[in-house]
A and B are shown apart, each in its own frame.
Chain A
Amino acid sequence: MTDANATLIKMEGVKKVFYTDEVETHALSEIHLEIKKGQYISIAGPSGCGKSTLLSILGLLDSPTGGGYTLNGQPVANLSISERTRIRNREIGFIFQAFNLIGDLTVYENVELPLTYRGTSAAERKQKVQHALERVGMAHRLRHYPSQLSGGQQQRVAVARALVGDPLILMADEPTGNLDSKNGEAVMELLRDLHRNGATVCMVTHDQRYANFAERTIHLFDGRIVEETQEARVGA
Chain B
Amino acid sequence: MSTVWQDLRYAVRVLAKSPGFTVLAVLTLALGIGANTAISTVVYGVLLRPLPFPEPDRIVQLAETAEGQSGEMDLTSLQLQRLREHGQFFESIAGYTDVGFNVAAGNEAAHVRGMPVSADYFQVLRVHPAAGRDFLPEEDRGDGQRVAIISHAFWLRRFAGDPGTVGQKVLLNGDPYTVIGVMPDGFDPRASSDFSAGIAADVWVPLALVAKTVGSGENIGVVARLKPGLSRAQVDAQMSLITQEFRKQFPGDVSARQAIAFLPYQFMIGSDVRPYLLVLLGAIGFVLLIACANVANLLLAQGGSRGREIAVRIAMGATRPRLVQQLLSESLLIALAGGVLGLAVANAVLGWLLALAPVSLPRLSDIHLDAGIFGFTLLVSVLTGILFGLAPAIYTTNTTLSEALKEGSGKASAGAGRARLRQSLVVGEFALSLVLLAGAGLMIATFTKLMNTSPGFDPHRVLTMQFWLTGSRYKSTPEVANYYQSVVQKIEAWPGVEAAGIVAAGLPLERGGNNGVRIAGQHQSDWLASNYREASPGYFRAMGIALREGRGILDSDTGDSNQVVVINEAFAQKYLSNRNALGEHVYVNGVPREVVGVVADVKSYLDRPSEPTTFIPGAQTSYEGSKIWEGWFPRSIVVRASGNPLRLSKSVREAVAAVDPLVPTGAVRSMDQMLAHSVGLRSFMMMLLSIFGGLALVLASVGIYGVISYAVSQRTREIGVRMALGARPADVLRMILAEGLKLVAVGVALGVAAALMLTRLLEGMIYGVSMRDPLIFVLVNLLMVAVSLAACYVPALRATRVDPITALRYE
Contact = CB atoms under 8 A, between A and B. Distances in A.
Interface of A: 52-53, 56, 59, 61-62, 81-82, 85-86, 88-90, 94, 96-98, 100-105, 113-114, 116-118, 122, 161, 173, 177-178
B319 to A, nearest CB: 5
Contact of A98 (B313, B320, B401, B407): B407
Contact of B2 (A98, A122, A178): A122
A102 B405 CA distance: 12
A100 B308 contact: yes
The interface centre, meaning the residue of B6, B10, B319, B407 with most chain A CB atoms within 10 A of its CB, is B407
A52 B402 contact: yes
Interface string B301-341: 00000001101111111111010000000000000000000
Contact of A90 (B309, B317, B407): B317
A161 B316 contact: yes
Contact of B402 (A62, A88, A104): A62
A102 B307 CA distance: 11
Given A104-B13, A104-B14, A61 B405 contact: yes
A81 B3 CA distance: 21
Contacts of A117: 313, 316-319, 322
Contact of A88 (B10, B309, B317, B322): B317
A100 B312 contact: yes
6 contacts: A96-B312, A98-B408, A104-B309, A116-B6, A117-B313, A122-B2
Classify chain B: how many residues form its interface, as a range: 20 to 34
Given A100-B308, A104-B17, A114 B401 contact: no
Contact of B319 (A82, A173, A178): A82
B157 interface: no
Interface in B3-19: 3, 6, 10, 13-14, 17
B406 interface: yes
The interface centre, meaning the residue of B13, B311, B402 with most chain A CB atoms within 10 A of its CB, is B402
A214 B14 CA distance: 40
A106 to B, nearest CB: 10
B402 to A, nearest CB: 4
B609 to A, nearest CB: 67
B312 A85 contact: no
Contacts of B406: 52, 97-98
Ordered nearest first, which 8 A-B pairs have the shortest CB separation? A89-B317, A56-B402, A117-B317, A98-B407, A61-B401, A100-B312, A114-B316, A113-B316
The interface centre, meaning the residue of A90, A98, A177, A178 with most chain B CB atoms within 10 A of its CB, is A98
A85 B319 contact: yes
A177 B218 CA distance: 96
A148 B535 CA distance: 90
A102 B402 contact: no
Contact of B407 (A62, A105, A161, A178): A178
Given A52-B402, A56-B401, A105 B317 contact: no
Contacts of B401: 56, 61-62
B316 A89 contact: yes
Nearest to A87: B317
Looking at chain B's contact residues, the main secondary structure is: helix
A94 B17 CA distance: 27
B407 A102 contact: no
B95 to A, nearest CB: 70
Contacts of A122: 2
Contacts of A59: 315
Given A89-B317, A101-B312, 8 more contacts: A85-B319, A90-B317, A97-B407, A98-B405, A100-B311, A103-B309, A105-B10, A113-B316
Interface string B117-155: 000000000000000000000000000000000000000
Contacts of B308: 98, 100
A105 B14 CA distance: 9
B14 A85 contact: no
Given A104-B13, A178-B407, A85 B402 contact: no
Contacts of A102: 309, 312-313
A52 B314 CA distance: 17
Contacts of B319: 82, 85, 117
Interface string B3-38: 100100010011001000000000000000000000
B317 A177 contact: no
A88 B315 CA distance: 7
B317 A85 contact: yes
B139 to A, nearest CB: 77
A155 to B, nearest CB: 13
A86 B320 CA distance: 12
Contacts of B3: 116
A85 B317 CA distance: 5
Interface in B34-92: none
Nearest to A105: B10
A73 B10 CA distance: 38
Contacts of B405: 61, 96, 98, 100, 173
A59 B317 CA distance: 11
Contacts of B314: 85
Contacts of A178: 407
A166 B12 CA distance: 31
Contacts of B312: 96, 100-102, 113
Contacts of A118: 317
A25 B84 CA distance: 87
Contacts of B320: 81
A52 B406 CA distance: 9
A116 B315 CA distance: 13
B174 to A, nearest CB: 83
A215 to B, nearest CB: 26
Given A56-B401, A62-B401, A117-B318, A177 B407 contact: yes
A113 B312 CA distance: 10
B488 to A, nearest CB: 82
B315 A94 contact: yes
B10 A85 contact: no
B317 A61 contact: no
Contacts of A100: 308, 311-312, 315, 405
A16 B64 CA distance: 79
Contacts of A81: 320
Interface in B254-298: none
A85 B318 contact: yes
Nearest to A56: B402
Interface string B375-400: 00000000000000000000000000
B317 A86 contact: yes
A71 to B, nearest CB: 15
A99 to B, nearest CB: 9
Contacts of A90: 317
Contacts of B313: 102, 113, 117
A100 B316 CA distance: 11
Contacts of B311: 100
A90 B315 CA distance: 11
Nearest to B323: A117
A96 B407 CA distance: 9
A89 B318 CA distance: 8
A104 B316 contact: no
A139 to B, nearest CB: 20
Nearest to B17: A104
Nearest to B310: A102
The interface centre, meaning the residue of B3, B315, B401 with most chain A CB atoms within 10 A of its CB, is B315
A76 B679 CA distance: 75
Contacts of A101: 312
A97 B409 CA distance: 13
